Amino acid sequence: MKTPAEAATLTSATFEELVREMIVRLGEDPEREGLVRTPERVHRAYEFLTKGYREDPEAMLKKALFTVTYDEMVIVKDVEMFSLCEHHMLPFFGKVHVAYIPNGKVIGLSKIPRLIEIFSRRLQIQERLTTQIAETIQQAITPQGVGVVIEARHLCMMMRGVEKQHSAAVTSSMLGCFREEEETRTEFLSLIRNRSNGI
């Protein structure tokens, strides 16, 4: 089985040939006007949608760590997320809420959405995405605790299979004091439920 790095070495021609073959197998004419450039477009789209494989989340965070005495909860909520389900390669999308309590270091606020972007631009399942975000923050700054909640809608459920149009999946990863202390966890969940951010 090819690693992501090995798979990335496929030439554009090879990728586009595969897309063209898929079009044929679906019963379409790849020479039809609307489909002539589809293999090229699909190739570019998937390069963008999976660019997270070519980015290093740990290295990105290391450039934005700051020493502080602040020890209250830091929350970045309602971060838009788009990813591809690894089972059907159909999109899932929603909001990510991240909180941590510093232990001497904080992460530049803009880097948390960036971290979410790196992990979501891969073939994913929502459960893994949730834990990857939490564990990477935990490893980067060793805070007192980290909490991550993702609320997402999955097109593999909405467009096919059970075809439930209004269903959403909610996953969470709680580390450190967010797992051990009910009061901390409750404060986080209460704050992300309040959709008014006062801005």
Is residue 199 situated within a structural domain? no
32: containing domain: 4-49
Burial class (CB in 10 A: 0-12, 13-18, 19+), 170: exposed
Provide the whole-model pTM.
0.89
Is the pLDDT confidence value at 141 over 80? yes
β-strand partners of 75? 99
Question: What span, in angstroms and rounded, lies between the C-alpha atoms of 75 and 40?
Answer: 40
Count of beta carbons in the 10 Å neighbourhood of residue 59: 8
Six-digit token string for 119: 């992990």
Is residue 165 situated within a structural domain? yes
Is the pLDDT confidence value at 2 over 80? no
Is residue 67 situated within a structural domain? yes
Secondary structure E strands in 3-144: 65-67, 74-85, 91-101, 105-107, 123-124
Is residue 187 situated within a structural domain? yes
Torsion of CA 155, 158, 161, 167, to 10 degrees: 110
- The per-residue pLDDT for range 43-88, each reduced to its tens digit, is 999 999 999 999 999 999 999 999 999 999 999 999 999 999 999 9
Confidence of residue 161 (pLDDT cuts 50, 70, 90): confident
Query: What pLDDT, on the 0 to 100 scale, is given for residue 199?
Result: 38
CA angle, 188 as apex, 186 and 189 as ends, to 5°?
65
Is the pLDDT confidence value at 151 over 50? yes
Query: What pLDDT, on the 0 to 100 scale, is given for residue 163?
Result: 65
What is the DSSP secondary structure assignment for residue 185, as one 8-state letter? H
Is the pLDDT confidence value at 185 over 80? yes
Query: What pLDDT, on the 0 to 100 scale, is given for residue 90?
Result: 94
Is residue 198 situated within a structural domain? no
Is the pLDDT confidence value at 156 over 90? no
Is the pLDDT confidence value at 15 over 90? yes
- The per-residue pLDDT for range 111-121, each reduced to its tens digit, is 999 999 999 99
Residue type, 169: A
Greater model confidence, 83 or 160 = 83
Axis crossing angle, helix 111-120 with helix 126-141, rounded to the nearest 10 = 140
Is residue 13 situated within a structural domain? yes
Is residue 44 situated within a structural domain? yes
Yes or no: say if 100 and 143 are a contact pair by the CB < 8 Å rule.
Answer: yes
The residues annotated with a catalytic role in the active site are 85-88, 126, 154, 156
* Counted domains in the chain: 2
